[in-house]
Structure 1
Amino acid sequence: MVLTRSASRAKCIFIWLPNEILDLIASELSTADLAVVCRTSRLLRNIAMPLLYRCVKLSTRSGLMLFARSLLRSFEASLPNLVREFDVAHFTDKKATVYPGLVVHTNHTLCRMIHLESLTLLERSIDYTHLLEHGQFPELVVFQYLVPSHALPALTSFLNCHKNITDLGLISPCSLKFSTPLSLPKLQSFMGSFAFLSALDLTDVSLTDLTLLLYPPDIAAAHAVLANLHEMKMLSTVEVMGMDANERAILHVIAAHLPHVQELVFHHCTTTSSPISSEESLNIAASLETLGQLRSINFGTVGENVIEDRVMVAQWSAACKGLTSVILDERQWDLKENDWVVSWNL
């Protein structure tokens, strides 16, 4: 449907272009350009505003404050309905003071964004308890949250009321545990600790991607939790993020319970990690023998010896016949014509 255009401005090309063309042009503009376009005419403002506010990413206290204020103005009452993705990352202005008023404004502003599809809340200085208790987002499918211990009751209720969530990330500075089961039947991707994963009702869930956060790795808990995922044939990618090299022990648990995994990634949260010893390499190879569908494994940075790396890669590929890609010490080894070659160095 074409918006009403003034006949007195008939010489302007924008008057005659269909809205679909204007939408395509506007979609190629930067955020700064869209802000300028919004001030040119009512027609272009109506086209640019949904694009300008569709995805909001904030990383400073001042930016969050200005955004919250703009959406609380009476003449901007419709703006919250335009937001589809909202992301508050860790504030870059660490020394900035977060006043109680900003917390209140932020929570009330978020509660008005009833069409949210993606919500990421990773700034720990903002308490989102009010949002968790009162926010209702029927279209929400992605939710990422830095979880404080006091918010667990409200978070449980919030998650169980948003059953359309397909992508869930729960991050905490320490291992926390829900006292009430979580029911998210459409969940496909999960990031969190074993404690959070154990709270999920996995009866009808079909996970495809799993990211495990270790605080530190509890092997007994890993066995208990991953055993429940044994029948999930769609689970193809598993990432492990640990505070030290101990997360390699999780590989043996994964091999025991998730034989259908096709991609394994191990992230090290410290700047250094101990190299893989010859004995560890043999243990890894033994675990890989049970992962018949594994195609790629990424160990990140664990040493600096290319010759030893080649030996380990050959050892692992002999144990896992389907393996075609190995990332080790920031080098990617690819199997080409029955020979392992380094494709690139980071």
Structure 2
Amino acid sequence: MVLTRRAATEQNSISRWLPNEVLAAVMTYCSEADLVALCKTSRLLRNLARPVLYRSISIGTTAQMKAFLRTMKSIRPTSSTPRLSDHVRQFVVTDRQCTRNLPKRTAEFLSSLIPKFHHLQSLDLGFNKSLEFTEMLERASFSNLSNFSYTVPSHNLTLVPSFLNRHSTTIKDLSLISDAHPNSVPHLDTVHLPRLKSYDGPSFFIRFFDTSTTCSVTTVFLWFRPYDRDIDRALMLLGPMTALHSFFAFGIPDDIPETTVLESVAKHIPRIQTVALRKDGANQISYPNALEIAPCLKKLKYLHSFNIGDDDGEDYDDLETVYLWSGACSTLSSIVVRTWAPAVTMILVKLS
């Protein structure tokens, strides 16, 4: 049999001998550049590579944002190829400033595009507050949304509960960024998220959780602003969280002692297993500070891990303090004293 050049080429093609499922699985290990190249190779490989290429979108610059939106706008769906938006499972913005200089029409297109990511599993809208998603909060619904992060403009706060409640059976991780003063927050509808495991955000929002939501949360990250002076009031909201085992506090005002926070922890969540504290300013732990902290740790009968430090402090290496704290709390298995500076090595002491 005589083969034409095209037939001979097709006979030797890897796509002839491997099932599409295998080819698609191999593509999950390809780089973004390789996937783009595959899309230009043939119709078959393009149809297999596109879902992988657009499955996870991570944007860190204005140029990347504009290029992504330009692509989404230019490629039209056909009867044989779905919309690119149908492939997106994760949409993350790694730099909040990347939308700052978007033209108005481009920003409007982004706002109208996100609700079309019907199969989203993770959505991170941690943009600067100049970009709003009012239409999405009012109407959008994602059947598989598990992780949701959003920078909330104050006037959009009242829309957040209804959006969350439309995803009550799927959301497990919730992160909210808000500059709203706790005393100025309007009354919000009750939030029903019975599968919620992790909450990251301001304390005021917790008071709108219903009982099923409160009882399901296992990990809380609370962010304090300079005007958040009432630590006890904030931690009181954690008391009903019967499943809570890990508590992290960030941005604690510099002039509020760690002992104040720990006393409130012992009062409201005495069964906590992991505690991490981060202060706004530099505040290296001195031995007198350590002496004051020890009695607070003694009240935490179930504490396994204690993590303390600040954003601008220096390395801290004092085994005397470690022994002091481990003696005060017999259940501790690790103590971490560190800063967030990239070059810092953390002190991690395994206690017998």
Give the TM-score range, shorter chain: 0.7 to 0.9
Letter in 2 for 1:242: G
Q: Does 1:131 align with 2:136?
A: yes
- The corresponding residue for 1:341 is none
- For residues 33-44 of structure 1, the aligned pairs below 5 Å read 33-44=34-45
Instruction: For 2:322 and 2:269, locate their aligned partners in 1 and report how far apart those are by CA, in whole Å.
Output: 21
Structure 1's 106 and 261: CA in aligned 2 closer, same or farther, altered over 3 A? same
Query: Displacement, 1:321?
Result: 0.8
- Give the paired residue count: 324
> CA 1:53/1:59 → structure 2, altered by over 3 Å: closer, same or farther?
same
1:184 deviation in Å? 1.2
State the Cα distance separating 1:70 from its structure 2 match.
2.3
Q: Please state whether the residue corresponding to 2:171 is helix, strand or coil.
A: coil
Asked whether the 8 Å contact 2:115–2:140 carries over to 1, the reply is yes
TM-score, L = length of structure 1: 0.85
Report the alpha carbon displacement of residue 92 of structure 1 after superposing the two structures with TM: 5.3
Residues 192 and 210, structure 2, Cα contact 8 Å, conserved in 1:
yes
1:24 lines up with 2:20 in the alignment: no
Map 1:162-311 → 2, pairs under 5 A:
162-163=167-168, 164-176=170-182, 177=185, 179-180=187-188, 181-204=190-213, 205-215=215-225, 216-229=228-241, 232=242, 234-245=243-254, 246=256, 248=258, 249-268=260-279, 270=280, 272-301=281-310, 302=313, 304=315, 306=317, 309-311=318-320
TM-score, reference length from structure 2:
0.84
- 1:122 alignment counterpart: 126
Give the 3 Å change call, closer, same or farther, for CA 154–93 of structure 1 in structure 2. Answer: closer
Asked whether the equivalents of residues 38 and 46 of structure 2 are also in contact (C-alpha less than 8 Å), the reply is yes
Contact 1:89 1:121 in 2 (8 A): no
Q: Distance in 2 between matches of 1:188 and 1:223?
A: 18
Structure 1 residue 15 displacement after superposition: 1.6
The alignment yields a C-alpha RMSD, in angstroms, of: 2.3
CA–CA distance in structure 2, aligned partners of residues 303 and 319 of structure 1 = 25
Question: Secondary structure at 2:277's aligned position in 1?
Answer: strand
Structure 2 unpaired stretches of 5+:
1-5, 340-345
Tell whether the 8 Å contact from 1:241 to 1:247 is kept in structure 2 after alignment: no
CA distance in 2, matches of 1:314, 1:74: 63
Give the corresponding residue for 2:87.
82
Mapping of 1:104-119 within 5 angstroms? 104-119=108-123
- How far residue 12 of structure 1 moved from its aligned partner, in angstroms, is 1.2
SS at match of 1:293: coil
Matched to 1:255, the amino acid is A
Q: Distance in 2 between matches of 1:264 and 1:23?
A: 43
Which residue in 1 is equivalent to 2:343? none
Partner SS state of residue 54, structure 2: helix
2:118/2:141 contact within 8 Å kept: yes
AA at the equivalent of 2:63: S
